[in-house]
Structure 1
Amino acid sequence: MRELPHGDTVTILRAAAATTQDVYGNDVPGPVTEIPVPGCSVSPRDGTGPAANEILGDRDTVISGLTLYAPFGTDIRATDRVRIGGEIYEVDGRAGTFRSPFSGSTGPVVAALELVTG
């Protein structure tokens, strides 16, 4: 899949590998690199899953999901975050891709995204 001519540009946020540790021995990620990806499509995911809306203590937790369709070959990792508009989403699992066994044409890289608020 090539860039979608009327697609959106999203930004992948990728932290560099940890090179230091905090006072508790936890790895501290390195600086974040911003990778703009033009020609993407974003669609809403079903928000009715088991953790879509939970009441925890005195707050409501709402989990919103999107599906990102990026041009074939886009490197999206499970540890990345993705900025769409003013929101930053976590990548939920591994991104997938598709190549037709009949024509050899390639489809988009598909990634599930999740935003947790509350």
Structure 2
Amino acid sequence: MSLLFHQSFVRVRAPLVKDRYSNEKRDWGSAERTLVPGVNIQPAGVPARSEESTDDRQTTVTAWNLQTREGVDLDLLETDRVEFDGMTLEVDGKVGRWPDPFGPGVHHVEARLKEVD
């Protein structure tokens, strides 16, 4: 048994709705939550991307890496959020699905996540 893929997270997927001006936006109050087990989530290694902005208020953006075990695909989109360890993280960019070099399908999935404080 691998010690790396024992973590779980909650995938938060919000539907698109139209506001009173017909603009589409995510309705996070009506989001669907799904428990996803068997992943590895760790702080991004050096050089970790961490940004601070002091324009209007102090904010810190910290990067995290999510990875599945070999042979596991993951239903995760760049528009989803991830609840993990008391944090709400945003998917930062496209979700990477690495192809299996020995056959059809996915070898594993990787996603960059970001926490905004």
**Range into which the TM-score falls when normalised by the shorter chain:** 0.7 to 0.9
Checking the alignment, whether the CA contact within 8 Å between 2:8 and 2:37 is kept in structure 1 is yes
TM-score between both structures, scaled by the size of structure 1: 0.76
Match of 1:65?
Answer: 63
Aligned to 1:29: 26
Deviation (angstroms), 1:100: 3.4
Partner Cα separation in structure 1 for residue 109 and residue 3 of structure 2: 12
CA contact (8 A) 2:99 2:107 kept: yes
Return closer, same or farther for 1:81/1:28 CA change in 2, 3 Å cut-off: same
Letter in 1 for 2:93: G
Instruction: State percent identity of aligned pairs.
Output: 26
Aligned CA-pair RMSD: 2.6
Change in Cα spacing, 1:27 to 1:48, as seen in structure 2 (3 Å) is same
Q: How many residue pairs get matched?
A: 110
Deviation string, structure 1 residues 2-29 (Cα, Å, up to 9, x no partner): x9775111011000231x424x544353
1:85 Cα deviation from its structure 2 partner: 1.2
- Using the size of structure 2 for normalisation, the TM-score is 0.77
